[in-house]
């Protein structure tokens, strides 16, 4: 470690020494009166100051390299206090300001550094880049021109000079610079395309087409050049000639899949959806076309469901072609899964996502998506098993513990649910909504374990933290009603949940049952019938409650009919058969 530290200082000292001493040597050349004055001032610095400068400069570099940019700024600023004409210190400060996105300070420092040391190309390069970012294209072009004149063999400088002239809308000068570069390297696709764009921007359409024709003539067997010409015709709304050049690509390269996407877009413009779809299918079926391109085009087609150009069946056909022609790329199964999810085919979507996991087991987003789908399917065994495996891979993801706790509740694993929640709590951190959910699951588990006071305490905590948690209010009210405890509190919570969710059959049923327990049978009948109208007629518990309320209202015949229906639906209480047999209500 010691040797490495010494060699680092030595290397930096050499850099500093060269940069610093070069300024003193400039006075001997007497390039200009201003430079001479500057160097004379530099010569006035004492040896002690020079030593301090070099020490501080090295320290500034160390601070910058270790990411302590604010410290580096302070140290380099101190360097400039010692030597206000240190171009190298200005350059280092400019680099830091650039990293902090302070382009104004960076450009001012570099302008001064270049004034002091006009021959340093690195200063000019960096300032030219800043001018480009700040859209001062004229000034950037001047710097690249100077750099190109100093190093005429450096073609990058000449290219950037031409590019900046084009951005500055100095079109004739830009074309002249591109032509000069073209003389050095010959006809080049990138230069030809940029020249065509400059001609277009200048309104010289004839020259723009001629430039691409030159490119085609230079290599008539290159299909990409015909594509550029077709795109240019399209930009001029000349679809007929665009089609001609796209077809030319197919003559040269019949397996070119990308051109079929271009043709599909063209036919879509011409309001020929059948032709557009046929071309799209050919492109999707191309084994030579990269799957990235296919997926990108698919996403573009399906980005806006309200303005899609394809039917659902056509989209499905494309996805199946995508999977068939690219079976080894797991990303296509993710695309297929998204399509299936939009169709509501959750089970098949889950299977496709499992294929993604087979290739990319470390993708947390896919694991989470699969588990959530299983939760929607109420396949809690799958939720439980997948959560166990996912927690092994991602032990710091609290949502996995929450989902596993839900599965445990549904699978009557109440103790394990509480243990899982305890294990996941340290990872919740500042996620308040998830913390509230954990507390709710604790309440449910404790109630099922007949730890009633712990459960009710947890419910109170949930509602304290989240006063609009209607699920907690509903469940808490229902459990109170089952126990005939604190019915006034139950009625208040349940009514609040119903007011906020007037179409929720579960909440309506709970409120009806609380009213039933309060012996308010007429109002209970109104709410239970509302629950039935909102889907509760397929729930055995709700239908049984309807029978109980009807019985208390004296309609024994209809009550028995509802109890029979509840038994057929399932989920009714263990007393349902006895109610039917004896044709009377039994208290649970």
Tell the residue number behind the tokens 């996407």, with chain if given: 261
Does pLDDT of 80 surpass 70? Answer: yes
In a domain, 514, yes or no: yes
Confidence of residue 289 (pLDDT cuts 50, 70, 90): confident
267 within 8 A of 276, measured Cβ to Cβ:
yes
- pLDDT above 60: residue 3: no
586 lies in a domain? yes
What is the distance in angstroms between the CA of the first residue and the CA of the last residue of the chain?
78
CA distance linking residue 66 with residue 452, whole number of Å: 58
How many Cα atoms are found within 13 Å in the side-chain-facing hemisphere of 394?
A: 16
Strands (E) in 434-547, as ranges, are none
Q: How many domains is the chain built from?
A: 2
Domain-located, residue 376: no
- Give the span between the Cα atoms of 281 and 289, in whole angstroms: 12
CB half-sphere exposure, 468, CA atoms < 13 A: 4
Share of residues in the chain with pLDDT > 70 (%) = 92
Q: Which whole number is the average pLDDT over 182-198?
A: 93
Taking the C-alpha atoms of residue 417 and residue 423, their distance in angstroms, rounded to an integer, is: 10
CATH of residue 32's domain is 1.25.40.10
Sign of the alpha-carbon dihedral angle for 496, 497, 503, 507 = negative
Would you tell me the crossing angle of helices 205-218 and 223-235 to the nearest 10 degrees?
170
Looking at residue 181, its pLDDT comes to 94
Range of 109's domain? 1-134
Contact by Cβ (8 Å): 211, 192: yes
pLDDT tens column, 251-263:
998 888 889 999 9
**Rg of the chain over all Cα atoms, to the nearest angstrom:** 38
Burial (CB count within 10 angstroms: exposed 0-12, middle 13-18, buried 19+), residue 303: exposed
What is the band of 103 on the pLDDT scale with cuts at 50, 70, 90? very high
Q: Which residues contact 198 (CB under 8 A, 6 or more apart)?
A: 166, 171, 174, 175, 178
Q: Which of 89, 115, 134 is at the close of a domain?
A: 134
Task: Give a yes or no: residue 250 inside a domain.
Answer: no
pLDDT category of residue 306 using cuts at 50, 70 and 90: low
How far is the C-alpha of 359 from the C-alpha of 88, rounded, in Å? Answer: 52
Q: What is the pLDDT of residue 42?
A: 45
560: how many CB neighbours lie within 10 A of its CB? 19
Task: Decide if 290 is inside a domain.
Answer: no
511: nearest Cα among 502, 530, 529, 524: 524
Does 81 reside within a domain? Answer: yes
Whether 208 maps to a domain, the answer reads: no
45 domain-assigned: yes
pLDDT at 307 over 50: yes
pLDDT tens digit string along 414-447? 999 999 999 999 999 889 999 999 999 999 999 9
| Structural contact between residues 249 and 228, judged by C-beta atoms closer than 8 angstroms | no
Contact 264, 277 (CB under 8 A): yes
CA distance 335 to 320: 10
Domain end among 134, 152, 177:
134
């Amino acid at each position: 470690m010691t040797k490495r530290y010494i060699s680092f200082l030595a290397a930096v000292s050499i850099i500093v020494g060269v940069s610093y001493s070069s300024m003193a040597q400039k006075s001997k050349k007497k390039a200009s009166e201003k430079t001479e004055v500057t160097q004379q001032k530099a010569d006035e610095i004492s040896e002690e100051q020079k030593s301090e400068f070099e020490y501080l400069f090295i320290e500034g570099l160390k601070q910058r390299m270790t990411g302590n940019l604010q410290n580096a700024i302070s140290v380099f600023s101190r360097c400039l206090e010692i030597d206000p004409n240190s171009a190298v210190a200005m350059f280092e400060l400019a680099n830091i300001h650039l990293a902090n996105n302070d382009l104004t300070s960076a450009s001012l420092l570099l302008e001064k550094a270049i004034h002091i040391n006009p021959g340093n190309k690195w200063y000019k390069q960096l300032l030219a880049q800043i001018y480009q970012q700040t859209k001062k294209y004229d000034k950037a072009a001047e710097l690249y021109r100077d750099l190109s004149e100093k190093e005429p063999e450096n073609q990058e400088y000449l290219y950037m000079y031409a590019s900046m002239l084009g951005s500055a809308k100095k079109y004739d000068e830009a074309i002249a610079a591109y032509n000069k570069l073209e003389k050095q390297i010959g006809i080049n696709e990138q230069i030809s395309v940029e020249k065509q764009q400059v001609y277009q921007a200048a309104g010289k359409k004839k020259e723009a087409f001629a430039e691409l024709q030159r490119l085609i003539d230079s290599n008539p067997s290159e299909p990409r050049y015909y594509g550029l010409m077709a795109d240019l015709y399209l930009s001029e709304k000349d679809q007929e000639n665009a089609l001609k050049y796209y077809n030319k690509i197919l003559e040269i390269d019949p397996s070119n899949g990308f051109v079929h996407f271009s043709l599909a877009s063209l036919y879509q413009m011409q309001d020929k959806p059948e032709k557009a779809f046929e071309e799209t299918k050919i492109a999707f079926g191309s084994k030579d076309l990269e799957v990235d391109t296919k997926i990108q085009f698919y996403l573009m087609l399906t980005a806006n469901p309200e303005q899609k150009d394809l039917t659902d069946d056509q989209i499905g056909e494309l996805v199946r072609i995508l999977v068939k022609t690219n079976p080894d790329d797991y990303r296509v199964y993710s695309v297929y899964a998204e399509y299936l999810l939009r169709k509501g085919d959750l089970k098949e979507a889950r299977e496709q996502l499992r294929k993604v996991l087979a290739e990319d087991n470390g993708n947390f987003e896919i694991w989470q998506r699969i588990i959530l789908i299983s939760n929607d399917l109420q396949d809690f065994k799958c939720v439980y098993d997948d959560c166990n495996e996912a927690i092994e891979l991602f032990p710091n993801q609290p949502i996995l513990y929450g989902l596993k706790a839900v599965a445990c509740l549904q699978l009557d694993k109440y103790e394990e649910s509480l243990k899982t929640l305890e294990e996941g709590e340290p990872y919740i951190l500042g996620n308040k909504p998830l913390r509230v959910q954990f507390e709710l699951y604790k309440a449910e588990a404790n109630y099922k374990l007949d730890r009633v006071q712990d459960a009710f305490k947890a419910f109170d905590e949930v509602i304290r933290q989240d006063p609009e948690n209607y699920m907690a209010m509903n469940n808490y009210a229902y459990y109170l009603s089952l126990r005939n405890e604190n019915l006034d509190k139950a009625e208040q919570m349940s009514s609040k949940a119903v007011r906020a969710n007037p179409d929720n059959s579960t909440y309506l049923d709970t409120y009806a049952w609380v009213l039933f327990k309060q012996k308010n049978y007429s109002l209970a009948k109104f709410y239970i019938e509302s629950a039935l109208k909102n889907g509760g007629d397929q729930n055995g518990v709700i239908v049984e409650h309807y029978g109980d309320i009807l019985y208390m209202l004296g309609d024994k015949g209809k009550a028995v009919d509802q109890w029979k229906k509840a038994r057929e639906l399932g989920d009714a209480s263990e007393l349902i058969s006895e109610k039917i047999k004896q044709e009377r209500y039994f208290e649970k």
